[in-house]
Structure 1
Amino acid sequence: MKIFNFKLVIFIISIIFGVVFAIPSLLQTDYGKKINLGLDLQGGLHMLLGVNTHEAVTSKMKSIATAVKYFSDDEELLIDGLTVENDSVIFSVLDKDEMPKIDKMLSEISGLDISKDNLEYRLKLTEEETIKTKDFSVAQAVETIRNRLDQFGLSEPTVLRQGESDIVVQLPGIKTAEEEKAARDLISKPANLELMAVDEDRIEQVYQMTSSQAASYGDLILEDINNPNKKYLVKEIPILDGSQIVDAQVAYSQSNQPIINFTLNSAGARIFGDFTGKSVGKRLAIVLDGKVYSAPNINERIGGGSGQISGGFTVAEAGNVAIALRSGALLASVNLLEKRSVGPSLGADSIKASMIALVSGTVLIFLFMIAYYRRAGVIANIALVANVFILLAVIALFGATLTLPGMAGIILTIGMAIDSNVIINERIREVLRNGASVHKAIEDGYSNALRAIVDANITTLLVAIVLYAYGSGPIKGFAVTISIGVLTSMLTSIVGTHGIYQAILPKIAKDKDNKKWFGVK
């Protein structure tokens, strides 16, 4: 018989694949893909954030007010007193004949509770829409924070919703106070960009005004980002908000200072162009998170849907703001409810303890297999080592994060892998005891063991899939490791060892010593 057969060739190729792609992780080389270690293995930052969901309702009502203002300006309808008060939008129509147009526009906004008193409108969200808005604000915060952290360059951050309004954030690899502060600032930054018209008629009175007096005119008093003593009086209803931004990039001014160039979508570009065309000679305040970054004069209509934010940024600050703007504004602010730092030394202790369990368990399995099954046990041990290398290689290539439960999954996989070889060897020994030839014993042994091995592994794989679908964080890591381990163990035990037996069958038959090869007379 030929030494090489297709099963042995597949097994050898799998071993080479496993060794090549597992070495970067095992030796921590400078090249190749490596396994990402989770928070519990390499240390990092664990945070519990609370989302202020009521702010999402206020934000939505501001957006509705902006839509009403743009529609009335575009259709040249006369409205007065447009303001947001107690999560309600209030305005009056000056011409009763124009009410049907307003009614038609408002009917296209879902979830609105509209009440009218003569010419005055009061808009609120329905109770159902309020609940949906709050729920969406949490889901949007999870997605936005995850996008920001991905663009920030942190490897494998975990961002999960917990309960109705809380978010769990785990950041492996955060080790210094500077890294922690940068991550926290990026996460908590609302990045709420608004373009607001400066109230040119009353701007000179801003230093003598109170906030309540400004509100009576439909205005807000905002501070300059670089000088808190400098005040701006701006219209409460923004011309545009950050929801129309499609891109934001760091650039440099003529004086080589970092600035942020932003681009609006088509609807935002149209609104921006129309407003600047009607407001030549006036000022437009660029407001980010309630602070005025600049208030340039409008010299001409600005088309193209692009703008610029300058405010004495450092390079790092400009980069973080650009990331936040690209990822989208948080509909509601977040508060830090709990913070827990996991030191690298604790992670190293976890790895050490896991490695002791892995090595000691493997050694005991090796000794038992050799003592009980003799040379068949050696073949099973070869398949076991190959299984570990292939498993680590696949985890590294997938870019999966290895956590402490994942380490437990690897150790459990070793037990599952050797279990398949035990079943195969026992089936071979049963046939040999009945006086069959070695060739028939091996083929019948694999044939008889195949169903039991496949059934057991498929049920384990199904459970792992369910754990991954409904689990979170560490549970997902455990499920991924077990799933990969099930597939690799079937490859090494069913295909690999069978290929080895087929290659050395002439030698086994020639020796005629079943006890030496299989531990049975």
Structure 2
Amino acid sequence: MLQIETWKRVLIWGLVALGLVLALPNVFYPRVERYNDEVSAGSTGTGWPSFLPSGLVNLGLDLRGGAHLLAEVRVADVYETRMQGLWPDVRNLLRDQRDSVGTIRLLPSDGGELKVRIGSPDGMDDAIRTVRSLAQPVVSLTGAGATDIEVSGTGDVLTVNLSEAERTAMDDRTVRQSLEIIRRRIDEVGTREPTIQRQGQDRILIEVPGVGSADELKEIIGTTAQLSFQPVVRRGVSEDASASAGEEILPSLDEPGVFYLLETAPVVSGEALTDAQPTFDQNGRAAVSFRFNPSGARKFGDYTAQNIGNPFAIVLDDEVISAPVIQAHIAGGSGIITGNFSVEESTNLAVLLRAGALPAGLDFLEERTIGPELGADSIQAGKIACIVAGIAVLVFMALSYGLFGIFANIALILNVGLIFGILSMIGATLTLPGIAGIVLTIGMAVDANVLVFERIREESKTAKGPARAIELGYDRALSAIVDANITTFIVAAILFVLGSGPVRGFSVTLAIGILTSVFTAIWITRLLIVTWFERARPKKIEV
């Protein structure tokens, strides 16, 4: 007989109620958004009851407005940095072998290699063997068994190169690290639901809703913020003065026309920083306090203990922001960066340092700003599309199937509410293609009902009584409904796995719409029909 157990009815209406409650905040979007911002800032939220859900469907770039960037990571930059960092270790090892290799001198070379001239060519074999002791295994699946450096010698010149396996591993690490640092920097300024993902081997797609322009986004992520502490060779040199190998000339940030000749190899780099916070110095001027990790603290402490009375430079992005004289041993691994900062500049610098230095520069291949007005137009167009599609389907179902069509229409309206409830629960981002997925779902949502109703029409001609016709209609249409929706769900899953950005947004809403459509068609519409049938007890049904 046609019946549904009480516990199933309670469960069905309970799920519907839960979905509608989760979708409710989207009806009051601006109010709930302000409430969430207040809670995130640490204050007590106002304007929305705290006992109600406050999850929203996040609006994507094309709906909210914002900035789009496609950046290419200059992975070759890290080769030069790696070689510069290797030079002090090579120099110290060869100094210990001075009896056999003679004098050593760093030669100018390309960024990806290190060249050293030794005074005694006869000791080249000893020099190669000594430097090879610095080689480490490549940390990657593809580089198993390989070492990170290759050492060779010709005449009196020893050459150190990065191995091909190490370059490949470094490229991958550089892009991954850039992804993480960009994500941290954007999260620091409180932007909502950014899209940051890798494209190809060395490109990163960045889409941030709510940012005013692409230039503003580039200011957030484009600054390299590479901090280093380097020994000072001489102050006040001319910009045109020549620097020997292992040295560089950098300008002073606070003193126009003043330049510093520095050793290229830093004492400590910004990678050793564990924290940076805006603060004020003893004179009340804006500054930035910093703290090193144990390794950086040890190196910094050893250097200051050995160089009391000598200056050292604090370098940020190839500019000397301060060059104090070491007055005493600085232990503990903490210090303060002073300069001609405003409070805002010190805060921004602390954010950049805390997020970490980008390992390599970025080339912006594509940049686009989408204004809020365009986003509002997209939302309005999406609303109109949903309303037009919804009304057309509602009218068609009511005219085609009468009372049963009205039951299907009620289920369709609940279906849209459930879609937004699930999107809010999982924190999904809705894009314009996502709206297209919802519109498509509205059109497809009644497919299952059409199959059932047509089957009931057929069964009513042969079955004994309307109850049996309804029961057979649902039972015999079920396999066709499941098969059709499973194939569509598989397509949505493939789009999600292989697609990116807007394609994924479409696939998510389509997949959720398929699940809710099957639920509303098989259970909600059936429950409405059963409830009506129990009360009306018709002798004949008109579908």
Counterpart in the other structure of 1:434: 462
In the alignment, is the contact (CA less than 8 A) between 1:408 and 1:478 conserved in 2?
yes
Deviations 1:100-157 (A, max 9, x none): 5543123567331211357753211234543543454344333322332122211122
Q: 1:79 to 1:157 in 2, by over 3 A?
A: farther
- The one of 99, 115, 123 aligned to 1:90: 115
Output the CA distance in 1 between the equivalents of 2:260 and 2:276: 25
1:30 deviates by 1.6
1:3 deviates by 9.5
Output the CA distance in 2 between the equivalents of 1:253 and 1:339: 39
* Equivalence map 1:76-475=2 (5 Å): 80-82=104-106, 85-87=109-111, 88-91=113-116, 100-106=129-135, 110-117=147-154, 120-175=157-212, 180-199=214-233, 203-204=234-235, 206-208=236-238, 210-211=240-241, 213-216=242-245, 218-475=246-503
In the alignment, is the contact (CA less than 8 A) between 2:136 and 2:148 conserved in 1?
no
1:171 deviates by 2.2
**Letter paired with 1:183:** L
Greater mean deviation of Cα atoms: 364-373 or 124-133: 124-133
**Letter paired with 1:184:** K
Counterpart in the other structure of 2:19: 18
Output the CA distance in 2 between the equivalents of 1:148 and 1:80: 42
Output the CA distance in 2 between the equivalents of 1:253 and 1:140: 32
Output the CA distance in 2 between the equivalents of 1:214 and 1:361: 71
Output the CA distance in 2 between the equivalents of 1:474 and 1:366: 29
SS of alignment partner, residue 406 of structure 2: helix
In the alignment, is the contact (CA less than 8 A) between 2:465 and 2:539 conserved in 1?
no
TM-score, structure 2 as length reference: 0.84
Counterpart in the other structure of 2:77: 55
**Letter paired with 1:514:** I
1:57 deviates by 1.9
1:264 deviates by 2.7
Identity of aligned residues (%): 37
Structure with greater proportional helix content: 1
Output the CA distance in 2 between the equivalents of 1:343 and 1:311: 37
SS of alignment partner, residue 445 of structure 1: helix
1:374 deviates by 1.5
Output the CA distance in 1 between the equivalents of 2:478 and 2:283: 73
Deviations 1:262-311 (A, max 9, x none): 33333323322322232222222111111112222333333333333233
In the alignment, is the contact (CA less than 8 A) between 1:19 and 1:389 conserved in 2?
yes
Output the CA distance in 2 between the equivalents of 1:20 and 1:487: 18
Which structure has more relative contact order (CA 8 Å, sep 6+)? It is 1
Question: Over aligned residue pairs, what C-alpha RMSD do you find?
Answer: 3.1
1:363 deviates by 0.8
1:164 deviates by 4.6
Deviations 1:37-85 (A, max 9, x none): 1222222222233333332221222233355467789999998434663
Q: 1:369 to 1:208 in 2, by over 3 A?
A: closer
Output the CA distance in 2 between the equivalents of 1:108 and 1:277: 34
1:455 deviates by 2.2
In the alignment, is the contact (CA less than 8 A) between 1:245 and 1:265 conserved in 2?
yes
Output the CA distance in 2 between the equivalents of 1:432 and 1:387: 28
In the alignment, is the contact (CA less than 8 A) between 1:66 and 1:239 conserved in 2?
no
TM-score, structure 1 as length reference: 0.87
